[in-house]
C-alpha cells in the first residue's frame, strides 16, 4: 500500500473525534428527554447540529480548521488537518451505503465530488480502478464545480479526503470507521476506530488527572468519563474564543 493510502490522523485526535461523537449523541439524547413534543420533524437535523458542534469544539484550533458548508437545506462540517493537508467529513454508515447505490445517477452527491481530491492517491493503481468509472463528461464537470464550492472556505491545499462513518443504536455509538474512497465510492483504505469508543462508567475523583490542570471538583462526587472529556472540550472552546 502506498504511504499516501493511510489514515494519518494522530491517535489522540481519533479519540477526540470518537468522544465528540459520543458526546453529541448523548447531548441529543438529553435534549429529547427534556423537550417533549407531539412530533419530531427536526430530529435528524438537531442531532447533527449537536454532533457537528461537539466535533468543532473538541478539535484543537491550532491543528484543525473546521468550516460549515451548505448543500441545499443540509449543512455539514469540513474538518481540515493543517499539518497533513487532510480533509475529514462525517456520515452515518447507513447513509454512505445508500449513496453507494445511487452513485452512477446523473445527480452529484457532495461525497462523490469531494472524493475527487483523492485522485492522486490511485494513479499507481489505474489498471485496477477507473477513477471516474461510469461517469459521463457532464457529471464529471458537475463534480469538479461542486468540489470547488466545497473547498472554497479551506485555507490551504487539500491532498486527501477521509470519510468517517459510524453507526449508533438508541443514541449510543456502536461503531466508527475511517475510509479513503474514490468518487465512485470504491474503498481504497479502511481503518476501524471502534476500539476508541469509551464505555459509560464512573471514575473516583481521586484518580482523575486532566492534563495536570486543576478543575474545581467537589470531593466525594463521582465524575463520569464524559464529564472529564467535556472539561477538555470546554478548554478548547475557551481557547478558540480567545483567539
| Residue 224 confidence (pLDDT) | 55
Whole-angstrom distance, CA of residue 193 vs CA of residue 198: 11
- Checking if the pLDDT of 22 tops 70, the result is yes
Place of cell 479502511: 190
* Cα distances (Å, whole numbers) of residue 193 to 3, 95, 118, 239: 19, 18, 21, 27
pTM: 0.79
Determine contact, residues 236/59, Cβ cutoff 8 Å: yes
Between β-strands 222-224 and 187-192, what pairing exists: parallel, antiparallel or unpaired? unpaired
For residue range 95-127, list pLDDT tens digits in order: 999 999 988 777 899 999 999 999 878 654 554
The pLDDT confidence band at residue 237, using thresholds 50, 70 and 90, is low
Determine contact, residues 161/119, Cβ cutoff 8 Å: no
Amino acid at each position: 500500500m502506498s504511504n499516501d493510502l493511510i489514515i494519518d490522523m494522530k491517535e489522540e485526535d481519533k479519540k477526540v473525534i470518537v468522544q465528540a461523537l459520543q458526546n453529541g449523541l448523548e447531548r441529543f439524547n438529553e435534549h429529547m428527554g427534556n423537550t417533549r413534543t407531539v412530533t419530531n420533524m427536526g430530529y435528524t437535523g438537531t442531532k447533527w447540529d449537536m454532533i457537528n458542534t461537539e466535533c468543532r469544539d473538541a478539535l484543537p484550533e491550532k491543528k484543525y480548521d473546521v468550516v460549515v458548508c451548505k448543500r441545499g437545506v443540509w449543512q455539514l462540517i469540513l474538518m481540515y488537518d493543517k499539518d497533513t493537508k487532510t480533509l475529514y467529513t462525517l456520515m452515518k454508515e447507513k447513509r454512505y451505503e445508500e449513496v453507494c447505490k445511487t452513485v452512477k445517477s446523473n445527480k452529484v452527491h457532495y461525497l462523490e465530488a469531494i472524493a475527487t481530491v483523492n485522485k492522486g492517491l490511485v494513479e499507481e493503481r489505474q489498471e485496477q480502478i477507473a477513477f471516474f468509472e461510469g461517469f459521463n463528461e457532464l457529471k464529471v464537470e458537475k463534480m469538479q464545480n461542486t468540489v470547488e464550492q466545497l473547498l472554497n472556505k479551506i485555507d490551504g491545499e487539500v491532498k486527501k479526503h477521509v470519510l468517517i462513518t459510524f453507526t449508533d443504536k438508541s443514541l449510543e455509538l456502536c461503531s466508527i470507521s475511517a475510509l479513503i474512497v474514490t468518487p465512485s465510492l470504491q474503498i481504497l483504505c479502511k481503518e476501524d476506530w471502534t476500539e476508541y469508543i469509551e464505555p459509560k462508567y464512573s471514575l473516583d475523583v481521586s484518580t482523575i488527572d486532566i492534563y495536570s490542570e486543576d478543575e474545581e471538583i467537589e470531593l466525594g462526587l463521582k465524575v463520569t468519563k464524559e464529564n472529564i472529556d467535556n472539561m477538555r472540550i470546554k478548554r478548547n472552546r475557551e481557547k478558540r474564543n480567545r483567539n
